[in-house]
Amino acid sequence: MVISLFTLTSSVIVLNFKNQHTQRIIAVTLLLLCLLLTPLLNYSDHLLQLTMLLYSIKLILAFSVNWTSTDKDETRAENKTTTR
C-alpha cells in the first residue's frame, strides 16, 4: 500500500515537469528512492514485492516521462507561440 501511494505520487510529480530531461532525472531519482524503500517494508510474499517494483518502474518511467519529444521540438513550439 505504501509503495503504491509513493509510486502514484511520484508519477504526478514527474508529470508536473515539462522539460524532458528534468522529467528523466526526477523520475530516476524517485524510482531509486522507491527501490531503496521497498526492502524496508515487510512483504509476506516476494512475488508481491517484485510485482510492486515492476509496477513502480512502469508507472514512473514508462507512463510519466515524455520519451518521444526532443528539446528542439519543445523550443520550436515555444517560439511559435511567442511570435504569434
Residue of 28, 18, 31, 25 whose CA lies nearest to 66: 18
What pLDDT score was predicted for residue 27?
A: 92
Q: Which residue segment(s) compose the domain that 45 sits in?
A: 2-83
Band of the pLDDT at 2, cuts 50, 70, 90? confident
Average pLDDT score over residue span 64-75: 69
Handedness of CA 46, 55, 41, 39 (dihedral sign): positive
pLDDT of 80 higher than 70: no
**pLDDT tens per residue, range 10-48:** 999 999 998 888 999 999 999 999 888 888 888 788 888
Average pLDDT score over residue span 6-11: 91
Domain count, the chain: 1
